[in-house]
Structure 1
Amino acid sequence: MSELLRESDPASQQVSSPSPSPESKTYNEQNDSESGAAEKKTPVKETNTEAVQEEEPFFDFQMFINDLKNPKAEPLVKYTRSFLSNFVTQKKFWTAEEQEKLVRNFKVFIYGKFSEFEPFNTLDRAKLNNAQEGLEKLIMGKLYPFCFSPELASKIDIEELDESHKNDVLNDQFLEDKIAEYSFIELDNLDVPNKISTKLSRFLRLAGKELNKINHFKAPRDKMVCILNSCKVIFGILRHFKLDKDGADSFIPLLIYVIIHGNVTKLVSNVKYIERFRYEKFLKSEDQYYLSSLQAATNFIINMNRKDLTIKDEIEFDAQYTVNQETQKKLREEKELKQKQEQEASAHPLTESPYNPIDDITSSMVSMFSDFFTNAASTPAVAETDGSTAVPTPTPTSKAATPKRRRSSHNRAKDDLFMQTAVKKMEEDEQAETVESLVEMFPDLPPELIEDICIAKKYRTGVCVDTLLNLYE
C-alpha cells in the first residue's frame, strides 16, 4: 500500500514528457503525464503555511459588478456580450480543447482591454486582480452548461460528445462505481497510523463536507477553494500529529478516505474543468500541488482492488465486501426507480425544479446584465486573431440595435437589492455552518472562542482548523 501511494504522490513522481495527444490515452495515462507537467511548476514540499494563507488575495464579486456597471465600462460589456453570443451560437458543440482555447484567448484579450477603460484602468493591483477574477466567474457562470462535462451529458447523448468531455463523464462513473464498491473500507486498510485513526473522524467528515461543496459552484475559483479547504483540513490534522513530513504515507491515504467516505460525485470532471478554465496565473503552486494530489488519489481509487489494501483479516473483509455489494445493489435499484419517476414527472408541464438559492442569484445576475446574454439586434463584429479563434469586437451603437424593451431603473434596483440580500444570506448561512462544524470538532473549546477565531480568519476553514489545533499544543 505504502509503495503504491508513493508512486501516486505528485511530490515523489518522476517528471514525464507529455504525449502530443493526451486525450487519446486512458484516464490513468493522462494523469501520469499531467502530474509530470505539473511537477515542473510545483514544489515538492507542502506550501500550506500560515504566511501563505494570510497572503490570500481578497475577492469581492460585487465590487467587480459595480465597476462593470459604470457607463464608461460599456465597451467591456459589449466585448463580453459578443464573446458569449459567439460561443453559444457559432457552433453547436465545441470540443473541450476548443473551449479551453476560446476562453483563454478571450481572457487575455479582455484583461488587456481593462487598461483602456475606466474604472478598471485606475484600479490598483489588488483590485485589478479582483476584476480579472470577477470576469472569469461571470463568463464561466454563463458558459457552465456548455463547458462542464456532466452538464453537457445531461442534455445530449454521451456518444455525441467529443472525446475529452466523454472521457470526463465515463471516468466520473468509473470513480463512483469504485467508491461504491469499497465504501466500507477503514483507515487501517489505507495504512493510516493507529495513533491518530481514532481521532480523525470529525476532521475527515469536515474535509469530506468541504470537498462535496465542489458541485455547488460554477466558477473555477470557487471549485478550487473547495479543494483547498478540504486539503487544508487534512494537512492541519497531520501537522498537529507531526505526520506532515511523511508525504504519500499520510496525506494521500487520508485524501483517498475522504473521497470514498464523502461519496464525492463528478470529481474527475471538476478537476478537468478547473484545469481547462482556471486562468493560469491564478493557479498558485499550492493549488497545483493539491490538484495533482487529487488526481493521484482519484487515479488510485479507479484502479484500486483488494491487493492494494492492507487486510488483516481476510474472512472479515470478505464478509464486509459481500454485505456492501448487497447494499449497493439495493441502492442502485432505488436510484433507478427514483430516476424513472423523475423522468415521468419531468414530462409534466407544471413540474418545478428543486429550489436552489444559487440559481436565484444567477438568474438575477443574468437579468441585470441581460445585454450580456442575449443576441444583439445586429450581428456582432468579429476580429480574427490567428485564423482559428474569434475575438469579439463591440457591436456598433445605434438606435436600431437598441432593444425596444429596456428594463426600468426600478426593476434594476430591485434586482440589485435581491442579489445583494441573497448573497449576504448565503454567506451568513455558510459562516454559521462553518462555526457549527468546528464546534462539533472541538467540543473542549468554548463556542464563543471558536466563533471569534472564525471571524478573525474570515471563515477560511483550513486556517481556522490550524489555529484551533494550535490551542491544544
Structure 2
Amino acid sequence: PPLLLSLSPAPTDRQNSKSLSLWAGGQAAMESPTSAASRVDFYGFLDRMRRPEAADLFRSIKSFLASLSLDEPSAEADGARVQAFFAEMEAAIRGHPLWADATHQEIDHALEGLEKYIMTKLFDRTFAASPEDAAADAEVSDKIGLLQRFVRPHHLDIPKVLNNEASWLIAVKELQKINSFKSPWEKLLCMMSCCQVINNLLLNVSMTNDRTPSGADEFLPILIYITIKANPPQLHSNLKFVQLFRRETKLVSEVEYYLTNLISAKMFIINVNGHSLSMEESEFQKHMESAKLGTQMSVASPSSSQGLATSTSGLQKQIDAEGSRFPFMDSETENLTQAELKQLHGLYRKTVTRYTLLSKALRKLSIDEDQLLASVDDS
C-alpha cells in the first residue's frame, strides 16, 4: 500500500492521539521478550508525540514519509535520505520544548522510538524490496541448506572444549527470530543476543578450563557454525536493512563488532570451499553433490524418492548418518553411556518444550500489522 500519499493538512491534536494510539496498540500485540529493551523507548516517544506541543514534529514525520513515497524505491538512496531525516529530527527533538529538560538517555529513547515508527512504516518499501535482494537471500539460504548436511564443528577448527549444544541451540533460536520484527534495532537485538551467547560461552570456558580467551579466532568460527545451523530467513536482506537504516551513530563499538562478524559469516558461507573447511576441494565437492542429491530426494514425490533411494542406498545412508544435529552429533550411539542417554533424553524434552512455546508465541505475533498501519493513515 502507498505510504501516506495524502498530503492533506496536518491532523488535529485529537487525530494525532487517535492515530498514534491505534498504531501503538498494534505494536503492543507484536511485542516479544527480544524487543523488551526498546519497548520503554517506543512508548515514551509515543506518549510525548500525543501531546499538542508535538504537532509540528508529527507534521514533519508525515511530510517526510509522503515525500519519500513519491520516488521509486532505492535501498541506498532511501537509506541516505532516512539517515539525513534522523539527523534532522535529532536536532529538532533536542531543541524542542517537550525535551527541554530531558536527559541524554531520554532523548536517545525518543530517537529509538522515532526510528521504530519510521522504519515500520517504510518496511515494505525498504526490506527485501528488489529482485536482487530476493536472489541474494535465496543464494545464501540454498548454500546454507547444503552445508547443514555435512559441516561439523571440526571443519571450522572449533575446539571440542567449546562444543556446547545447549548454548549453541539458544544462539540458533535467537538468530532465527530476526524476521519477527520490523525495526532495525529489534532485528539487531536478535543478532546481538546470538553473538552474546557465543561470547558468554567463550568466557565461561576460559574461566572453567584455565584458557586464555582467543577472541575472534574462536568467536567467528562458532558464529559461522551457528549461522549454518540456524539458516536465518532472508539473512542478506536483514543485514542490509540494519546497515542502511539503523541510526549510524548507534552502529559503533560492540554493536559494530557483532554486526561486522555476522556479515563476515555470511561472506564466508557464500565463498566457502574445501580449503576454508579444512578439507580437500575434491572432498568438498563430493559433499556438496551429496547434499544436493539429498535435497532433491527430500522434495521429490514418494514414488520417485523410493526409486532414487534404491539406486543410491549407500549414499543415502551416508547422508542420513551425517545429517543428525542436536545433540551429541559427533557421538556414536554404541559409545553413549546410560547417563549420557538419560542426558540426551532430557535435552530432547527441553528442546521440544522450548520449540513448542516459541511456536505458540510467534503465532500470537501474526497480527496483520499492515491493516493496523493503514488505520493510522486513514485516521
TM-score normalised by the chain length of structure 1: 0.54
Counterpart of 1:14 in structure 2 is: none
Q: Is the alpha carbon distance of 1:110 and 1:328 closer, same or farther for their aligned partners in structure 2, counting shifts above 3 Å? A: same
How far apart in 1 are the matches of 2:277 and 2:157?
8
The alpha-carbon distance between structure 1 residues 256 and 332, as it changes in their structure 2 partners (threshold 3 A), is farther
Structure 1 counterpart SS, 2:100: helix
Q: Does 1:241 align with 2:202?
A: no
Which residue of 1 is the match for residue 180 of structure 2? 216
Residue pairs, 1:95-106, within 5 angstroms: 95-106=74-85
- Separation of aligned partners in 1, 2:94 and 2:121: 24
Deviation at 1:365, TM superposition (A): 5.7
The correspondence for 1:75, drawn from 53, 56, 77, is 56
Q: Given the alignment, which residue of 234, 243, 246 partners 1:266?
A: 234
Pair 1:305-2:286 in alignment: no
Q: Contact (CA 8 Å) 1:235, 1:244: kept in 2 or not?
A: no
CA contact (8 A) 1:175 1:302 kept: yes
Q: 1:264 to 1:299 in 2, by over 3 A?
A: same
Match of 1:326 in 2: 293
1:46-61 matched pairs, under 5 angstroms: 59-61=40-42
- Code of the aligned partner of 2:166: R
Give the CA deviation at 1:86: 1.4
Contact 1:244–1:250 (CA under 8 A) maintained in structure 2: no
Q: 2:116 aligns with which of 112, 137, 143?
A: 137
1:359 Cα offset (Å) = 3.8
Aligned partner letter, 2:142: D
Mean alpha-carbon deviation: is it higher for 121-130 or for 215-224? 121-130
Equivalent residue runs for 1:7-26 within 5 Å:
none
Q: In the aligned structure 2, how far is the partner of 1:176 from the partner of 1:80?
A: 36
**Equivalent pair of 2:171/2:198 in contact (CA under 8 Å):** yes
Q: Which runs of 5+ in 1 are unaligned?
A: 1-55, 159-165, 335-353, 375-406, 408-473
Cα distance change on mapping 1:244 and 1:85 into 2, 3 Å = farther
Alpha-carbon distance between aligned partners in 2 of 1:280 and 1:320, rounded to the nearest angstrom: 41
For the residue of structure 1 that corresponds to 2:148, the secondary structure is: coil
Counterpart position of 1:357: 365
Alignment partner of 1:183 is 2:123: no
Contact kept, 8 Å, 2:38 with 2:112, in 1: the verdict is no
1:324 Cα offset (Å): 3.0
Q: What does residue 87 of structure 1 align with? A: 68
For residues 189-248 of structure 1, give each alpha carbon's deviation from its aligned partner in whole angstroms, at most 9, with x where no partner exists.
111112332xx1111111011011111111111011111100000011111111673234
Deviations, residues 157-187 of structure 1 (Å, cap 9, x unaligned):
x2xxxxxxx2x33332222121112112111
Report the Cα offset of residue 301 of structure 1.
0.8
1:169 is the counterpart of 2:134? yes
Cross-structure match for 2:103: 124
Q: CA distance change for structure 1 residues 362 and 69 in 2, over 3 Å: closer, same or farther?
A: farther
Kept in 2: contact 1:73–1:118 (CA 8 A): no
Measured in 2, the distance between the counterparts of 1:172 and 1:318 equals 22
- The one-letter amino acid paired with 2:193 is N
Distance 1:215 1:82 in 2: 28
| 1:402-441 deviation digits (Å, cap 9, x = unpaired) | xxxxx6xxxxxxxxxxxxxxxxxxxxxxxxxxxxxxxxxx
Contact 1:210 1:229 in 2 (8 A): yes
TM-score for both structures, normalised by structure 2? 0.66
Q: How many residues align?
A: 277
Contact 2:41/2:112 (<8 A) preserved: no
Give the superposition deviation at 1:85: 1.4
Does the CA contact (< 8 Å) of 1:244 and 1:251 recur in 2?
no
Equivalent residue of 1:130, what SS?
helix
Aligned residue in 1 for 2:219: 251
Equivalent-residue separation in structure 2 for 1:244 and 1:219 (angstroms): 37
* Maintained 8 Å contact 1:238/1:244: no
* Post-superposition CA distance 1:273-312 (Å, at most 9, x none): 1111111112231111111111111111111122321349
CA contact (8 A) 1:234 1:251 kept: yes
Residues in 2 aligned to 1:179 and 1:241: alpha-carbon distance in whole angstroms: 28
Cα distance in 2 between the residues matched to 1:323 and 1:187 = 19
- In 1, the alpha carbon distance for the partners of 2:370 and 2:114 equals 14
Tell me, in whole angstroms, the C-alpha distance in 1 between the residues paired with 2:212 and 2:177. Answer: 25
Q: Does the 8 Å CA contact 2:94/2:107 hold for their aligned counterparts?
A: no
The unaligned stretches of length 5 or more in structure 2 are 1-36, 302-361
Counterpart-to-counterpart distance in 1, 2:176 and 2:300:
24
Q: Which residue of 1 aligns with 2:43?
A: 62
The RMSD of aligned alpha carbons is 2.7
Distance 1:65 1:365 in 2: 15
Matching residue of 1:230: 194
Report the Cα distance in structure 1 between the residues aligned to 2:300 and 2:63, rounded to whole angstroms: 46
Q: Which residue of 2 aligns with 1:285?
A: 253
1:195 counterpart residue number: 161
